[in-house]
Amino acid sequence: MVDDLTTTAGTLCAAAKCLKASGAIDIYAAVTHATITATGVARLKTCPIKELVVTDTVPLQVEGSDLPIKVLSVAELFGEAIIRVHEHRSLNSLFNM
């Protein structure tokens, strides 16, 4: 599953439960901005998501929660984008996959 933002993880956990009920074995989620609150931590602890992948666009506040979270850095991408904007170059090729 992919989402742009999660705070309370309500949507993520509800979707994960639906996937599990429909027969999914392993559920992975990716979120760009993880502004996870205490409510979100509590939900994620009981949620069937095997791993949550987030970016470091905002500080992650879940220390000591033992949640299966992997943080990916966007520093290199942002740095390159800043250089290209400063040099009046295209950003399009940064997003070619």
Per-position DSSP letters for 36-70, written without gaps between them: --HHHHHHHHTS-EEEEEEESSS----TTS---EE
Q: Which residues neighbour 58 within 8 Å (Cβ) at sequence distance 6 or greater?
A: 33, 34, 35
The whole-model pTM stands at 0.84
pLDDT tens digits along 4-33: 999 999 999 999 999 999 999 999 999 999
Q: Long-range contacts for 60-69 (Cβ within 8 Å, ≥24 apart)?
A: 60/34, 60/36, 61/35, 61/36, 61/37, 62/36, 65/41, 67/41, 69/34
pLDDT tens digits along 26-82: 999 999 999 999 999 999 999 999 999 999 999 988 877 889 999 999 999 999 999
